Amino acid sequence: MATTAAALLPGGVEFAFAPRAYAQGQEPLSSWNNSAAKKAIVDFVHSTTVSSSPRFVPPEQRIATFDQDGTLWVEQPMYSQVVYCFDRVPALVKAKPELANVEPFKTVMKGDRAAIAKLPTPQLMKVLAATLTGMSVDEFEDQVKHWLETARDPRWKKPYTQLTYEPMIELLQYFRNNGYRTYIVTGGGQDFVRVYSERVYDIPPEQVVGSVGGTTFGYDSKGRPFLTKDPKLLLNDDKAGKPEGIHLMIGRRPFAAFGNSVGDKQMLEYTKAGEGERLAMLVLHDDSQREYAYGPARGLPDSRIGTFTQALYDEAKSKGWIVISMKNDWNRIFAFNT
């Protein structure tokens, strides 16, 4: 996707190619404090990649899976992909003016954030279906690219692709430097994340597993074949859908898995149930100053997004999963606040 990456780089906007920069010289995992979490990572990688180790894992089996929203980048106050869907509504209504007076598009067009936030799930699903399906896969890719270039998050006023966690970018690179293939396993849309995964995470499209609908093959008026995105959901890549998606798309059990919510529980269970040494880690959002603090496990306010429950915390503790405190384990959150 070299053409793609080039097309994504508008002149005036700074884009971070963090993985490549860190490959050249800088201390690995330098945004991690020297705490138990970092030690667990280094010990795991050492134990599974040093050929004399009894827990050595052959290179072809080295798979590490990473949730995206809340694990690799910011998920508050709303998943970026949902923001994308709302942002697409004006263009959609322009193309189909009859939608202007139909709910939920009418409410979205009014721009009343409180009313939008209260849209019931079936109405939200209508917005998602209308903005994520019905077009060709090439049109969709162009639409997402355009949005990534222009949209800014409400708090930091940065492109969403800059809201990745620097310690996790370093972690991806660290795993790859040790022969692991890194996969994103996200509840978000597979086609959506694939548009920027290679540029932002150095993860190629074929290593993105996400919620995914079918496509339909057809021909245009000149007889050229193309694929149209269907509303039919093939995989809801969340909760139990994550190990199911891993089997579908990878066909191997990961040796390491990273998440931050109840949506990642089954992926971590599935990972740890494999033979040999396995690593399971959960990011806890406990840093209201530098990012956000949410999830009841540590007495933080609950959130509809990225729920980290007490039950999940208890399971992590009882099963030896490691909880990463953003506040205590990371000395830096974003590349832009050095």
Site of interaction with its own copies (CB under 8 A): 1-2, 58, 60-61, 137, 190-191, 194, 198, 204-206, 208, 212, 214-217, 224-227, 234-235, 240-241, 243-244, 247-252, 266, 269-270, 273
Q: Which has the closest alpha carbon to 184: 155, 164, 156, 160?
A: 164
User: What is the largest distance, in Å, between two alpha-carbon atoms of the chain?
Assistant: 68
Give the integer Cα–Cα distance in Å for 149 and 7.
10
Nearest approach, Cβ of residue 14 and its own copies (Å): 23
Query: In the complex with its own copies, which residue's Cβ is closer, 103 or 138?
Result: 138
Kindly state the smallest distance separating residue 217's Cβ from its own copies, in Å.
4
CB 41 within 8 A of CB 29: yes
180: closest CA among 329, 59, 16? 59
Least Å distance, CB 164 to its own copies, is 20
Name residues whose C-beta falls within 8 Å of residue 56's C-beta, 6 or more positions apart in sequence: 48, 49, 50
26's tokens:
């800088």
Cβ atoms < 10 Å from Cβ of 6: 9
Q: How far is the CB of 199 from its own copies (least distance, A)?
A: 11
Six-digit token string for 8: 């994504």
Structure tokens at 187: 């509840």
How many other CB atoms are found less than 10 A from the CB of residue 15? 16
* Helix (DSSP H) and strand (DSSP E) numbers for the chain: 14, 7
Beta strands per DSSP E along the chain: 63-66, 181-189, 208-219, 225-235, 256-259, 279-284, 322-325
In the complex with its own copies, the residue whose CB is nearer, 90 or 204, is 204
The rounded distance, in Å, linking the Cα atoms of 92 and 100 is: 9
Nearer to its own copies, 8 or 326 (CB): 8
Specify burial of residue 307 (Cβ count, 10 A radius: 0-12, 13-18, 19+): middle
CB of 272: closest distance to its own copies in angstroms? 9
For residues 76 and 190, which CB has a smaller minimum distance to its own copies in the complex? Answer: 190
- Rounded least distance, CB 19 to its own copies, Å: 14
Residue 56 identity: F
Closest CB to its own copies among residues 23, 91: 23
Based on CB atoms, which residue is closest to its own copies, 243 or 306? 243
Q: Pick the closer one to its own copies by CB: 40 or 250.
A: 250
Minimum distance from residue 234 beta carbon to its own copies (Å) = 5
Q: How many CB atoms lie within 10 A of CB 61?
A: 16
Q: What is the closest distance, in whole angstroms, from the C-beta atom of residue 333 to its own copies in the complex? A: 29
Q: Which is nearer to its own copies, 125 or 273 (CB)?
A: 273
Q: How far is the CB of 317 from its own copies (least distance, A)?
A: 16
Q: Is the CB of 37 or the CB of 257 nearer to its own copies?
A: 257
